[in-house]
Structure 1
Amino acid sequence: MFKSMYNWIDERLDITPMWRDVADHEVPEHVNPAHHFSAFVYCFGGLTFFITVIQILSGMFLTMYYVPDIINAYASVDYLQHKVAFGVIVRGMHHWGASLVIVMMFLHTLRVFFTGSYKAPREMNWVVGVLIFFVMLGLGFTGYLLPWDNKAYFATQVGIKIAASAPYIGDYIKTFLQGGEIVGAQTLTRFFALHVFFFPGILLALLAGHFFMIRKQGISGPL
Structure 2
Amino acid sequence: MLKKTYDWIDERLGVTPIWRDIADHEVPAHVNPANKMSAFIYCFGGLTFLIITTQIISGMFLAMYYVPDIINAYKSVKYITDEVMLGNIVRGMHFWGASLVIIMMFLHMLRVFFTGSYKAPRELNWVVGVLIFLVVMGFGFTGYLLPWDQKAYWATAVGAQIAETVPFLGPYIKTLLVGGPDLGAITLTRFFAIHVFFLPAALLVLLGLHFFMIRKQGISGPL
1:79-124 Cα offsets, whole Å, 9 max, x none, are 0101000000000000000000000000000000000000000011
Is 1:196 equivalent to 2:200 in the alignment? no
Matches of 1:12 and 1:38, distance apart in 2: 42
Count of paired positions = 223
Measure, in 2, the Cα distance between the counterparts of 1:146 and 1:101: 19
Work out the CA distance in 2 between the residues paired with 1:135 and 1:12.
Answer: 37
Is 1:89 aligned to residue 120 of structure 2? no
Residue 39 of structure 1: aligned partner: 39
Equivalent positions of 1:159-178 (< 5 A) are 159-178=159-178
Secondary structure of the residue aligned to 1:20 is helix
Query: Counterpart amino acid of 2:94?
Result: H
Q: How does 1:76-115 map to 2 (within 5 A)?
A: 76-115=76-115
RMSD (Å) for aligned C-alpha atoms: 0.7
* TM-score normalised by length of structure 2: 0.99
Rounded to whole Å, the distance in 1 between the matches of 2:131 and 2:41 is 21
Letter of the 1:124 partner, please give it.
L
> Offset at 1:36?
4.4
- In the superposition, the TM-score normalised over structure 1's length comes to 0.99
Unaligned runs of 5+ in 2: none
Q: Is the 8 Å Cα contact of residues 142 and 191 (structure 1) preserved in structure 2?
A: yes
Instruction: Tell me which residue corresponds to 2:62.
Output: 62
Partner of 2:217: 217
Cα deviation per residue 1:7-29 (whole Å; 9 max; x = unaligned)?
11111111111011001111000
Q: Determine the C-alpha separation between the residues in 2 that align with 1:49 and 1:85.
A: 27
- Paired position in structure 2 for 1:151: 151
Kept in 2: contact 1:30–1:36 (CA 8 A) = no
What is the rounded CA distance, in whole Å, between the counterparts of 2:154 and 2:163 in structure 1?
14
Q: How does 1:130-145 map to 2 (within 5 A)?
A: 130-145=130-145
